Amino acid sequence: MSEEKINPEENEAAAEEKTEVQAEEKQAKKADKKAKGKKENEDPKLQEISKQLDEQKDLYLRLRAEYDNFRKRSQKEKEDVYTTSRAEVIKNIIPVLDNFERAAGNDNASFEDYKKGVEMIYSQFLEILEKTGVETFGEPGDPFDPNMHNAVMHIESDEFGENTVAQVFQKGYKIGSTVIRFATVQVAN
């Protein structure tokens, strides 16, 4: 082990700092004694008002500390909920990943077996989305809603009504009223 050398200048600076702090504490104590002495000589009504003011200051400081603790606790709870919800979603997705790994590692499977496996994985994934409250939207024939659909093309068509989704290029996803991804569509005029 190496020995640390103590710098005499640092030691002196620390001693001076300590002395200054002690002097400040003495001055504060003297000021408190002086204030108490004045309070004893003051009018009883003024003493009562001073006492009430001190109580209100104490109440204010306690309330302020309590609010600060509440704010910090709320922030931590919010972060914990976010982490927990992410972990829950990932926990539900991991079995799908396992099935993809099994399918990729199966070199002896026929095309039909792969197709059947992919369809099973797809349905498993849809079940997970359903459990977590995710809904798909954007089907041909739906009325066009610019709050949910992203129109990339327009066509003239008698087959569909005006402002109707004619073709879906990419489905949309939402949870409740929150859109996760807009549906990319072609709209009939």
CATH number of the domain to which 97 belongs:
3.90.20.20
Question: 120 and 105, same structural domain?
Answer: yes
pLDDT for the residue 30: 72
- Residue ending a domain, among 111, 132, 153, is 132
Whether residue 124 contacts residue 95, with contact meaning beta carbons closer than 8 Å, is answered with: yes
pLDDT for the residue 81: 93
Whether residue 104 lies inside any domain: the answer is: yes
pLDDT for the residue 110: 87
Whether residue 38 lies inside any domain: the answer is: no
Whether residue 94 lies inside any domain: the answer is: yes
Tell me the C-alpha distance between 32 and 46, whole Å. 17
Total of domains in the chain: 2
Residue 42: phi, psi to the nearest 5?
-80, 170
Whether residue 12 lies inside any domain: the answer is: no
Residue type, 147: N
Question: 143 and 73, same structural domain?
Answer: no
pTM above 0.85, yes or no: no
CB-count burial class (<10 Å; 0-12, 13-18, 19+) for 167: middle
Question: 84 and 145, same structural domain?
Answer: no
Q: Are strands 172-175 and 183-188 parallel, antiparallel or unpaired?
A: unpaired
Residue 157: phi, psi to the nearest 5?
-150, 135
Question: 119 and 92, same structural domain?
Answer: yes
User: For 7, which DSSP code?
Assistant: P
Cβ neighbours of 56 (radius 10 Å): 10
User: For 104, which DSSP code?
Assistant: H
Residue 31: phi, psi to the nearest 5?
-65, -40
Tell me the C-alpha distance between 119 and 113, whole Å. 10
- Residue ending a domain, among 86, 114, 132, is 132
Whether residue 22 lies inside any domain: the answer is: no
Question: 119 and 59, same structural domain?
Answer: yes
Question: 149 and 77, same structural domain?
Answer: no
DSSP-H helix ranges across the chain: 8-41, 44-105, 111-131
Specify the CATH number for the domain of residue 145: 2.30.22.10
Question: 127 and 61, same structural domain?
Answer: yes
pLDDT for the residue 18: 62
Question: 152 and 112, same structural domain?
Answer: no
Question: 83 and 64, same structural domain?
Answer: yes
Whether residue 109 lies inside any domain: the answer is: yes
Domain that holds residue 70: 50-132
Whether residue 30 lies inside any domain: the answer is: no
- Residue ending a domain, among 89, 110, 132, is 132
pLDDT for the residue 27: 75
Whether residue 159 lies inside any domain: the answer is: yes
Q: Would you write out the chain's pLDDT as a tens digit for each of its 189 residues?
A: 444 445 555 556 556 666 666 777 677 667 666 666 555 566 888 989 999 999 999 999 999 999 999 999 999 999 999 999 889 889 999 999 999 898 888 888 888 988 898 999 999 999 999 988 999 998 998 999 999 999 999 888 878 888 889 999 999 999 999 999 999 999 988
